[in-house]
Structure 1
Amino acid sequence: MTNLWRDDIFDNLVRLKRGHDLPNQNIVSGKFPVVASSGIKDFHNDFKASPPIVVTGRSGTLGEVQYITEKSWPLNTTLYSISFRDNLPKYVYYYLKEMHLENFNAGAGVPTLNQNHLQKLKIKIPQLDIQKKIAAILSAYDDLIENNKKRIQILENMAEELYKEWFVRFRFPNWENTEFEKGVPKGWSYTILERLGKIRTGKTPSTSNSEFYGGQYPFYKTPDMHDKVFVFETDETLTEQGLYSQKSQIIEANAIMVTCIGSGGVTAISTKKGCTNQQINSLSVANNKFLYWAYYLIKYLKPQIELYGATGATMTNLSKGKFSNLEIVKPTDALIEQYFNLVSPKFEMIKKLSQMNQMLEEQKNSLLPRLISGKLSVEDLDIQFPPSMQEQ
């Protein structure tokens, strides 16, 4: 550690303030985001803080740090920056991420972050030019990841739009000359979901057996699936022993997973042999060229999953039997395969970009603690600001 770093306290890095209640009279739709402890929740016509703002959870969800670049209303479940003490806001953001603030829980019941305790913590703060270099390196990764996410979204939108055009609006090739029978194009048929392939419901291996967990096989759960087409990484993994303790629940790559308990209708595709928990039903299509058509088919079944899974309680709970017997409209095999041939290159690119993002996240996460601690020196590096930092 060089003399470019100084011993200091957290309060001289950033001053945080508790967020604000949302006045009832102002709960109307608007353009300013309302920021909760776990993320941006809604939009609001009023605001309390001007950008850039660093926001972290104060109550409930701890450890989630957000960098906000628009006027926002931080809720009372958050702490937000009111002064960066002449430090670089983006550096402060990365510093807080590396602190793992969830480890500073001071709540007896609900997880709570005590800002007064944070203010007195002894830390090391680098000079501003070092802060800029560290933030530039990490921001370059985040920029690449964000650009890839945008590309993934564009590719998915293109594939989904073609699905809707052909299979929802019935404007497939030569549709003008197609006859309709019973409300669907001639040659199409009404059937049920289980006739497309093998359906499995997951099950959680015994959590009391430590030899079941921490292996090479993914254990797919709902949080792993959110905002993803393909799931390459899971929070928990299983050993071979753990996987085969649920032998009848094993799924292979390219199984279409859908949540049927809790948040019904979250859909994603597996990429490795593994298994799911009991909240998820999976469809392995008999014809691999049905994969992407069936993926969107199941996504569009979300209202039915929620309707038929309603139990009078507060969450969806759709059994395997009800899921298997959901009625669907099946186009001709030739049309489904034609769709596969057109969208397959898009999905392959989505796979590549998703894998790239996973690699970039891993690289960034390995650099973050070394840069923030000063163990990896940047003072002699000539670093250009990435686009997201051009104005800082």
Structure 2
Amino acid sequence: MRSEVAFATSSRGSTMPEDWRVAPLGDVLTLQRGFDLPSQDRLPGEVAVVSSSGISGTHSEAKVSGPGVVVGRFGTLGTVTYITDDFWPLNTTLYVRDFKGNDPRFVSFLLQTLDYEAHNDKTTVPGVNRNHLHQTLVRVPPVSEQREVADALDAIESKISVEARLARQLRALVIALFERRFPQLDDETSGAWPIVSLTSIATFARGVSYRSDELRPADRALVTLKCFGRDGMYQTDGLKPFAGPYKASQEVRPGDLVVAQTDITQAGDVIGRVVQIPAHRDYPTLVASLDAVVVRPATAIPNEFLFGVLARESFRDLARGYANGSTVLHLDGRLFTDYALQLPPSELLSRFADEARPLLARAADACQQIDAMDALRRLLLPSLATGTLRLSGAAGADPGS
């Protein structure tokens, strides 16, 4: 992969480069529907199971050899997953059965530029027809330039992956440090420190209820359920532009802690998870949605200590016990009033806060780096994939641009 990438505008502006061609997608690749695999039939293994929203589990057997590209065709439309190893695409997806000599990585980026909503042929649950997709006209460069484009976009995605991995590691390190410093926090019988309720060391503000017509372009955004990853990480692509009213207590300031109070996963993977919210480059104001509750420490309680309390698996396990609902889980607010813990002396709280603060700050910086690089990727992807912006080494690119 290149360490440096230079770009040049196509020598004919927005006109397609001479060495590119226009062809139906079906002439570039062949899409095939995936295979059924109920959850109860999955066996322990390392083969990725790919659903319409991405990798969703593992199995002992592969159906397709890697590298491969999978597109969500039912439910979640247009999510494109590139996978290097053998895999099992579910029947809610389309996978590329034949790349017809084209670069698989370029194909994955090309498929991200299609308008899947225009091919939605379902009335209730979204779905696309592969035959309609095969008829879509696309621009295709020579294979050599396909690889150049893929390398450039891969460099951006590699940076995103590095920062995401660092953020996860830093979060895990803070939690491990917390457990080491306060191993008996939930032991109400030790008598080492005073027992307090969670509501005595923090305040809780439920998010705003909103109407669909309030989700329109604005200089502020809602922190929604999609901001909570199943792995506990904050996801900026879950933000929704919001133009409605809200209370001051519902505003999420940089560094604030937000806990998920709803969940649509069957296993309760998100309910009770806490994320620390960094500043956002496009939205100076963030507001908690009804799916979330803003948690702020009381006077003399470090925010880092409160993060440690809420980020532990023991708190998550307790939260699941306070969740109810059949299709959508809702967190019972009594969790916060019922939960009790030992409160360490202020000098121990300060020592932990001093240790955890730079780690959490770097994790927040990683989230901002991810957001910036993702914005760059979204900006460059349609231009590079259609030839309106070309790499300076590509044939026909204008070196003076």
Same fold (TM over 0.5): yes
CA change 1:164–1:182 in 2 (3 A) is: closer
Match of 1:249 in 2: 250
Cα pair 1:255 1:285 within 8 Å, conserved: no
Cα distance change, pair 288–37 in 1 and its aligned pair in 2 (3 A): farther
Q: Deviations over 1:94-116 (max 9, x none)?
A: 00011142432111222111111
Aligned AA for 2:75?
G
**C-alpha distance in 2 between matches for 1:27 and 1:321:** 37
Answer yes or no: is 1:366 the counterpart of 2:371: no
Following superposition, the deviation at residue 287 of structure 1 comes to 4.2
Moved over 6 A (4+): none
Paired residue type of 2:298: A
1:204 to 209, 215, 218: 209
Cross-structure match for 2:52: 37
For the aligned residues, what is the CA RMSD?
Answer: 2.6
The structure 1 residue matched to 2:240, chosen from 210, 219, 236, is 236
Q: Which amino acid aligns with 2:217?
A: G
Asked if 1:266 is matched to 2:273, the reply is yes
Deviation, structure 1 residue 209: 5.0
TM-score by length of 2: 0.83
Where does residue 155 of structure 1 map in the other structure?
A: 170
- Paired AA for residue 204 in structure 2: I
Are the aligned partners of 2:278 and 2:368 in contact in 1 as well (CA < 8 Å)?
no
Q: Deviations over 1:306-348 (max 9, x none)?
A: 212336x454323445434422332222212111101211111
1:386 counterpart residue number: none
Q: Retained in 2: the 8 A contact 1:199–1:324?
A: no
- Out of 166, 174, 191, the position equivalent to 2:196 is 191
CA offset digits 1:13-51 (Å, max 9, x no partner): 111111112278953111211111111122111111000
Identity of aligned residues (%): 24
Q: Structure 2 unaligned segments of length 5 or more: list them.
A: 1-15, 264-269, 280-284, 396-401
Q: Give, as a single letter, the amino acid of the residue that structure 1 aligns with 2:120.
A: N
Residue 218 of structure 2 corresponds to which residue in structure 1? 215
Aligned AA for 2:189? G
Give the C-alpha shift of residue 204 in structure 1: 2.1
Distance in 2 (alpha carbons) for counterparts of 1:236 and 1:29: 37
Query: Mean Cα displacement is larger for which, 292-301 or 53-62?
Result: 292-301
Match of 1:309 among 296, 317, 323: 323
Unaligned runs of 5+ in 1: 171-179, 383-392
> 2:11 corresponds to which residue?
none
Count residues in correspondence: 366
Note the C-alpha offset of 1:247.
Answer: 4.1
Partner of 1:111: 126
Aligned to 1:95, the other structure's residue is in SS state: helix
Contact 2:227/2:234 (8 A) holds in 1: no
Q: Greater relative contact order (Cα 8 A, min sep 6): structure 1 or 2?
A: 2
- 1:225-265 alpha-carbon deviations (Å, 9 max, x no partner): 325655666531334xx34x434533433321111223411
Return the alpha-carbon distance in structure 1 between the equivalents of residues 138 and 327 of structure 2.
Answer: 45
Structure 2 counterpart SS, 1:377: strand
> Post-superposition shift, 1:153?
2.0
Contact kept in structure 1, 2:32 and 2:94, CA below 8 Å: yes
Comparing 316-325 and 104-113, the one that deviates more:
316-325
- State the secondary structure of the residue aligned to 1:274: strand
After superposition, the Cα gap between the structure-2 partners of 1:19 and 1:288, relative to the gap in structure 1 and judged at 3 Å, is farther
1:299 to 291, 311, 315: 311
Residues of 1 paired with 2:195 and 2:39: CA distance?
A: 49
Residues 278 and 364 in structure 2, CA contact (< 8 A), matched pair in contact too: no
CA distance in 2: counterparts of 1:230 and 1:289, whole angstroms: 23
Query: 2:295 matched to which residue of 1?
Result: 283
Distance 1:304 1:377 in 2: 53
| Larger helix fraction of residues | 1
Whether 1:378 aligns to 2:382 is no
Q: Name whichever of 138-147 and 316-325 sits farther off.
A: 316-325
